[in-house]
Amino acid sequence: MLERQNLRITRQRRTILKELRKDYTHPSADQIYDKVRQTIPRISLGTVYRNLEVLCRLGEIQKLKLGRTKKRFDGNSDFHYHMRCLDCNRLDDAALAPLKSIEDEAGAVTDYKVLGHRLEFVGFCPQCSIQS
Amino acid sequence: MLERQNLRITRQRRTILKELRKDYTHPSADQIYDKVRQTIPRISLGTVYRNLEVLCRLGEIQKLKLGRTKKRFDGNSDFHYHMRCLDCNRLDDAALAPLKSIEDEAGAVTDYKVLGHRLEFVGFCPQCSIQS
DNA sequence: TTTCATGCAAAAGGTTTGCAACATT
DNA sequence: AATGTTGCAAACCTTTTGCATGAAA
């Protein structure tokens, strides 16, 4: 999956993807950096960013840019929605069926060629619901 | 509308809100800065940011943080969706009825207390559709 | 006059990039 | 050997913040 288009399978690249695959918390780049550093202490943040970019281009992972400024990454590249906690910023999957017809509706009310949509839910996670 | 809670109506604040009210392009902070500078040349970017923050808190405008890193601002604070051009980054309103039931559905498949949702469409605007 | 807001500049936070050395093919 | 990749550090871009000055109320 990585070997197409002149890309090399480096230890850094392999490790970053592996970490992301087994992580269900939708980590940020620096969180991934911390994880990978346990295996490759001298890896640099720049390398992490560059590889996340490559893996996104390959469709192996996805970048989540809704809401907050800081990006989060998802080892599952299948289309799905997310739910974000307004308090602790936790991010979970929302197992909702993709709204396929909604893009057609959007196309009908604008003069854009609609190619996709991004939907994110916000609220309080179980832990933060208790406190607040 | 501005005079509640110890807030003062300064020239800067008034001008920023006025610019945003008559602007339908969902400008970024630095675009607003450029606009307002035509009237108040010595205004600072910091002041623009601070006032955008205040106006958001008051519910007079809204901050759009979907997609790209850079925030965009909307002089219309009513709930509505947006459509973004993937090519030129143009941002328009999508006159779609708010999906009210979807938050209940999301609540049913997660253990969050759902408070809201953000939906953005992406595609190509009329201009960019022609070229691409 | 009180206190909120401003301008300025510096800092912060996240991400990107130039470059020489290095590793994969 | 060829060239993609890394580590490092510096640069970048947007946003935030400390502080002395200025302006609403």
Facing B123 at nearest CB: one of A85, A114, A121? A114
Q: What is the DSSP letter of B122?
A: E
CA distances from B32 to A4, B6, B28, B92 (A): 44, 25, 6, 17
CA distances from B52 to A45, B38, B42 (A): 32, 18, 17
Domain stop point among A30, A49, A74: A74
Q: What would the mean pLDDT of A108-131 be, rounded to a whole number?
A: 90
Q: Is the pLDDT of residue A54 over 60?
A: yes
pLDDT tens digits, residue range A65-83?
765 568 899 999 899 999 9
Q: What's the confidence (pLDDT) of residue A87?
A: 82
Domain stop point among A37, A54, A74: A74
Whether CB of A80 is under 7 Å from strand D: the answer is: no
B18/B56 same-domain check:
yes
Backbone dihedral region for residue B67 (phi beyond 0: left; psi -120 to 50: alpha; all else: beta) = left
The verdict on B67 touching A (C-beta cutoff 8 Å) is yes
CB contacts, 8 Å: B87 with chain A: none
Cα distance from A77 to chain B (closest Cα, Å)? 17
| Window B72-131, strand C contacts by Cβ < 7 Å | none
B91/B32 same-domain check:
no
CB within 8 A of A41, min separation 6: which ones? none
Q: How many CB atoms lie within 10 A of CB B21?
A: 12
Q: CA B46 – C1' D16 distance (Å)?
A: 8
Q: Is A84 helix (H, G, I), strand (E, B) or coil?
A: strand
Q: Is the pLDDT of residue A53 over 90?
A: yes
Whether CB of A50 is under 7 Å from strand C: the answer is: yes
B69/B112 same-domain check:
no
B111 lies in which domain range? Answer: 81-131
What is the CATH number for A63?
Answer: 1.10.10.10
What is chain B's pLDDT, residue by residue, as a tens digit (132 residues)?
555 578 999 999 999 999 999 999 999 999 999 999 999 999 999 999 999 999 999 999 999 875 556 788 998 989 999 999 888 888 999 999 999 899 999 999 999 999 999 999 999 999 888 865
The verdict on A80 touching B (C-beta cutoff 8 Å) is no
- Give the rounded percent of residues in chain A with a pLDDT score beyond 90: 73
B16/B69 same-domain check:
yes
Structurally, how many domains does chain B consist of?
A: 2
> How deeply is A60 buried, as exposed, middle or buried, from its count of CB atoms within 10 A (0-12, 13-18, 19+)?
middle
Q: CA B121 – C1' D18 distance (Å)?
A: 40
A59/A85 same-domain check:
no
